Chains A and B, each alone.
Chain A
């Protein structure tokens, strides 16, 4: 653990003469900050600028105030996308969380061969999302897909067609894919947290005759809570951004049944070329992310003593 991160630690910065200290750190961060201003701040400000202008087909014309926002906020398609994203995140993340925690507890038992199992378990998370999409496109392909034929059709769930073509189930199939992809991340992050817990309290509890369930609820869970919160939050933020897998699996369809704000913004930009409205959407998403991001930072810093 890093030393007291809540208080300012001047001792860490006292290397060298005081006068030198003034400009040296700024010199070190200058190239990076300059780069990030160019590739991150400038695009953000430009998006805000676009969102206040009439911009269609790549041509930016008049300043129109909040019109783009007004159009967006009265667009049922926008609210549909928020609903889709909310459903996606609110089902996928809690399931990943519970499965991940259960998996971490299993892995924390005396499992042999972890040095091989752990990396293998990490595969889904580290794969390119586009390949994850491809993988499930294959497994869930209509009629011949391995999973479609051997599981779904066995239980008479779908006949002959792909689950991704079903307006009712496509979203749940995407959620399923996300769970497959991200449960390992949760599991291995929690496992790392479990491994770092001190053993003292457990020995004391064992002396007092506590059973494993009591130990879990009175020792493990309280000690792990900050970590669970930080990881859950991080995953929550990331789940809102999912684009690649949805793009290759359903492209937002059928209809608009799996259209998240990411997919909608992309369609608005590159299909309808309605850049003003897409920018307004991007700005709103961006602001929401800043808020989440700030919460993540504060929680991680204060509760976990990280950063």
Chain B
């Protein structure tokens, strides 16, 4: 504590920083451990006591590739990209309209959107399953894309609206005085200012779709298998393939790792549905 008195600010920063670093290290240890299991041979994996050192192996990777898991990765990527693109195309004008214009029953409409977002997926999967079975959307790419709209379109409108409201309305008013039409104002004034918000919200939508399990599991069937759905497949009748699970799990985690670093502040805003401006 003698040091603390001589340089209080510096050592306080050191103290709190080390507290945070230690906390983060403990919290993230399970992820590190799973990562190490990707290259851990089976006998070392099941060793008691825990074995820290081992000869790395690539057997889990080769199993995963031999069993076509890269196709699930591709499916996941395509599905998330397409559904997110659709959300951005139809959701952006709606978010703008909700932020800027007066409408009848706007509050009720908005609450309906929130309710779509909040609805438990388990409740939705029942009617989806039966309706999809009737109209032939079960086990199809299109069916899953539609199902993802429930949570992602509502999420997107809700959060992007909060970005829209941060824009100064004066610019649009000035453009209107110049005699620009509304589509022109949207394209040339609003859109450029909104671009960061759109990207941030869309990336979050992508991640939600990427992480989604229940819809893909129940509605995708054998035809459309995403990465999360492929994980329980590794619990086989001959036992659980832990190393392979670790490989698939870490693959599913990589885009998330990239996103948390790139988006940082926007994540808080997104996850709180715009209630907190990160």
Contacts and interface: CB of A to CB of B under 8 A. Distances in A.
Contacts, number: 315
Interface in A253-300: 261-262, 265-266, 269-270, 275, 278-279, 282-283, 285-286, 289-290, 292-294, 296-297, 300
A159 B193 CA distance: 59
A13 B50 contact: no
B102 A25 contact: yes
B150 A120 contact: no
Contacts of B50: 144, 146, 149-150
Interface residues of B, number: 109
Given A122-B267, A294-B111, A44 B127 contact: yes
B264 interface: yes
Interface in B118-163: 118-131, 133, 146-147, 149-150, 153-154, 157, 161-162
A130 interface: yes
Contact of B146 (A11, A38, A117, A286): A38
Nearest to B174: A15
Contacts of B272: 189, 230-231, 234
A174 to B, nearest CB: 15
A121 interface: yes
A2 B275 CA distance: 11
A74 to B, nearest CB: 21
Interface stretch (A62-70, A101-109, A214-222): A101-109
A136 B185 CA distance: 51
Given A24-B101, A35-B90, A46-B130, A136 B176 contact: no
Interface of B: 9, 12-13, 16-17, 19-21, 23-24, 27-28, 30-31, 33-34, 37, 45-50, 90-91, 93-94, 96-103, 109-116, 118-131, 133, 146-147, 149-150, 153-154, 157, 161-162, 165-166, 169, 172-173, 176, 182, 185, 207, 210-214, 218, 228, 231-232, 242, 245-246, 249, 252-253, 256-257, 259-261, 264-265, 267-269, 271-278
29 contacts: A10-B102, A15-B100, A15-B185, A24-B101, A25-B101, A25-B103, A28-B94, A36-B150, A36-B153, A39-B153, A40-B150, A103-B23, A107-B20, A112-B13, A126-B259, A127-B252, A130-B211, A131-B228, A138-B30, A138-B37, A150-B50, A180-B30, A230-B272, A230-B276, A244-B213, A270-B218, A278-B126, A285-B122, A307-B275
Given A110-B13, A188-B267, A289-B120, 18 more contacts: A8-B102, A12-B99, A12-B100, A29-B103, A29-B109, A43-B128, A50-B130, A111-B20, A120-B260, A123-B31, A123-B257, A131-B253, A144-B48, A184-B27, A192-B276, A231-B275, A269-B125, A285-B123
